[in-house]
Structure 1
């Protein structure tokens, strides 16, 4: 019987073990999409205890605890940090098969050097030992210990990026770069949309009175972000994009309708989103940026808890919306103008794996290896089977060796062992193909694939 999470965890063949230990394990990390707070990096924040590190804002763990019957006062309520931590430890053993079980133990071992099972019995000892270790750590320590070469944060176009500028002047080994996330400009029906336009216009020095004005302001902020080192944009695409876009004058009418205080209908919102993506895609192409599209989330399903806790608190799920035709139309429009930027398609719905993995092949043009990428397993797919299925699906329909690999997509500085988890699964899958006679036992060729997916492809693709 294999020991729990030993050094060969998830590695089930000689080839997998050799690839992981000799090639993958010590490669630097390029985390091109995260939700780390740049202010916490600039200030070299120290966490008061492991509960703040693990449970503060981590909606993955919050969902798990709720599902296990833990009351909200032990999750986001007023219980003490230690009580919340003990509550998590008590229920984690129930989560067999959940990636959080693996991630948490990997974090405990890699970050704290603690080789204990996380359960109610060991909670007190873990609390004491982890907190003692945290007393000598700050956010820089997490990044440097994990070997993070580049970490991209998620930033609004109206942000001044002052903290990023400050970080540049510091001697942190990790390069921390902004990434452009214009969701507030895309969510036209949000209550504070008009107020947001005023803020955006002020920083861009543009009086926003039309759709064209807004796009000008967004474009100017792309230039500003580019000067600060940004190379990536990110968009949440939570609506099905229409197949036939409206002409510019009708988009302007929709924009004026919203400025006048009237919310748009669902179909009108979709048209607006398509217009913003199309316009920004042209801007990204001009700057040689990558446009990342995160597709298929159904957000804020629980109105009662949204009112109580706000967004991003664990009440999102997978959407079954169909978006392939509209998405293909967006890429086709930009391609027909020779202004299709490098693009990554992330999908939350595993039922769309084959749809997106075949869609990317329609717009490869030989200019960049994997110019249009099928993004890594994301959010609800970021588990053992989800990662393996993403690798297999891309291999079936594309060129696996051009993948730019994994991201944390996390708010937690403790989440970098997820890269280790992914690398083990990658080596496992390659080893299984060799064992089945589907690929030769060519260590040099296999090593090239592993180094590319885990590190080199992302560095080259994003020009980092």
Structure 2
């Protein structure tokens, strides 16, 4: 009798020796999840949304899959166009065999395995059965948004929220009896982007309405932002987030900046002479507010976005045409952090790097501003976006270990819009256990599973729990 082939996702997946497998089984696999940064919809969580089918929960908004499908010659109609959900799923299924060695191949099988228990490889032959099986499960209450969070033992969901948001969904969630906590994160990117004047002025109108403060100059703009920081804090926010190509410059002439901003508001054709100095001034003031509130601040650095102007005009922004930037980061980042630190107003900080050539630059930078007040006060954040795959995660862990202290690391976060992305935490945990297990067997680390296992537990769960004050 021919032996049945075991699926890709099993007890050996990514775990290349016995020690790694024991570490994973005994110290990592059953830990809860602290997902401190993601783009899940608080509205969908609060309403306990039930998804219509696998396409809606899995393919909608997934830029990774969209990019792969385009690369494999799939027409846009079957990606973001008006094809039916089933047609889009079948198109993706046909693509999956061609994604081998891309992390999408692993993630696809992991996300079918958890939560659906599907072991078959997805391809054109298995697609119809997998689609039916998953859709039947998605019709059950346990596969609504809150059920999926519970199945994955999620303790914290850190959503990403605009400062003008009324946080009504977060208020609704705070009144529900859920075993997980959903906290808003303050993401003020639009108020820093002063170069696009029509969009910026529209945003200021929204900010005025939300804050109840008329914005007539830089001081009143800061008053409006302080009002929103206070509002977010009252509604459970303890984290801010910023997506930047690079840190803005620390401004030197605030008086001139104030004059320029007044002209900008009053004269239709006047543009800010130094939008970078403006962004640096506002961001510094925001960071001082975060420190005063005891928040954690995050900086996602290095992405250049919406580069395909033709397809952006057709499909809109954030449709999968972003890339890794190659701008220098170190000097501006050091100057910005130092401007806060010398006033003792540097909050707990997470720095995310998108360019693998700068891994050591970021890992070294974090050590400059740790001050002994908090373990791992300045974090070299988890491998992000283009780097959150096996090779990228290993390189981030190695850079952090070589130039920092791995045992203080707060571990993985999904940074995802999909409720099926919690497999990313399992992916990270397997990679970490394999890294440590291999070095234990080579004699590079102590042959003490309890010792190494405790470090794995700290990195995968307990450090993040402490860093984000989930014990209170």
TM-score relative to the length of structure 2: 0.95
1:125 alignment partner, one of 120, 125, 129:
129
Find the counterpart in structure 1 of residue 144 from structure 2.
Answer: 138
> Could you list the per-position Cα deviations for residues 6-55 of structure 1 after superposition, in whole angstroms to 9, with x for gaps in the alignment?
22200112221111111110100010000001111111111110011111
Q: Residue 253 of structure 1: CA displacement?
A: 3.1
User: Is 1:53–2:57 an aligned residue pair?
Assistant: yes
Structure 1 gap segments, 5+ residues each? none
Q: Which moved more, 1:436-445 or 1:367-376?
A: 436-445
**For 2:170 and 2:348, how far apart are their aligned partners in 1?**
24
Partner of 1:222: 229
The Cα of 1:261 is off from its aligned counterpart by 3.3
Q: Does 1:274 align with 2:253?
A: no
State the 1:262 CA deviation: 4.2
Distance 2:287 2:413 in 1: 22
How many correspondences in the alignment? 462
SS at match of 2:201: helix
Inter-partner Cα distance in structure 1 for 2:328 and 2:358: 9
Q: Which runs of 5+ in 2 are unaligned?
A: none
Q: Is the 8 A contact 2:27 2:454 kept in 1?
A: no
1:75 CA drift (Å):
0.2
Give the drift of 1:5: 2.9
Counterpart Cα distance in 2 of 1:349 and 1:261: 38
Identify the residue that residue 328 of structure 1 maps to in structure 2: 334
Q: Is the CA contact (8 Å cut-off) linking 2:247 and 2:336 kept in structure 1?
A: no
Q: Could you tell me which residue of structure 2 aligns to residue 318 of structure 1?
A: 324
Residue 88 of structure 1 aligns to a residue whose secondary structure is helix
Give the alignment partner of residue 38 of structure 2, picking from 30, 34, 41. 34
Secondary structure in 1 aligned to 2:213? coil
CA contact (8 A) 2:103 2:390 kept: yes
For the residues of structure 1 that align with 2:270 and 2:459, how far apart are their CA atoms? 44
Q: CA deviation at 1:301?
A: 0.2
Q: Does the CA-based 8 Å contact 2:8-2:109 persist in structure 1?
A: no
Q: Within 5 A, what are the aligned runs for 1:400-411? A: 400-411=406-417
- 1:231–1:288 CA contact under 8 A, matched in 2: yes
Judging changes above 3 Å, is the alpha-carbon distance between structure 1 residues 219 and 50 closer, same or farther for their aligned structure 2 residues? same
**More deviation in 314-323 or 212-221?**
212-221
CA RMSD of aligned residues (A): 1.5
Write out per-residue CA displacement over residues 315-365 of structure 1, whole angstroms, 9 at most, x where no aligned residue: 000000112101100100100001011111001111111111001111010
Q: How far is the alpha carbon of 1:249 from its aligned partner?
A: 1.4
Matched, 1:249 2:255: yes
* 2:217 maps to 1:210: yes
Counterpart Cα distance in 1 of 2:156 and 2:246: 31
Give CA-to-partner distance per residue, 1:213-266, whole Å, 9 cap, x none. 112211221121111111110001124533x5232212223423432334747x
Q: 1:98 to 1:210 in 2, by over 3 A?
A: same
Q: Report the counterpart of residue 108 of structure 1 in structure 2.
A: 112
Shift, 1:195, TM fit: 1.6
Q: Does 1:389 align with 2:399?
A: no
Q: Relative to structure 2, which stretch is displaced further, 344-353 or 252-261?
A: 252-261
SS of structure 2 residue aligned to 1:111: coil
The answer as to whether partners of 2:9 and 2:113 remain within 8 angstroms in 1 is no
Q: Could you tell me how far apart the structure 1 residues matched to 2:269 and 2:14 are?
A: 54
Q: Does the CA contact (< 8 Å) of 2:433 and 2:456 recur in 1?
A: yes
Structure 2 counterpart of 1:180: 186
In structure 1, what is the Cα distance between the partners aligned to 2:457 and 2:19? 15
Change (3 A) 1:204 1:23: same
Once the two structures are overlaid, the 10-residue window that deviates more, 216-225 or 417-426, is 216-225
- Is the aligned partner of 1:152 residue 2:146? no
Equivalences for 1:50-89 in 2 at 5 Å?
Answer: 50-89=54-93
- 2:298 is paired with a residue whose SS is strand
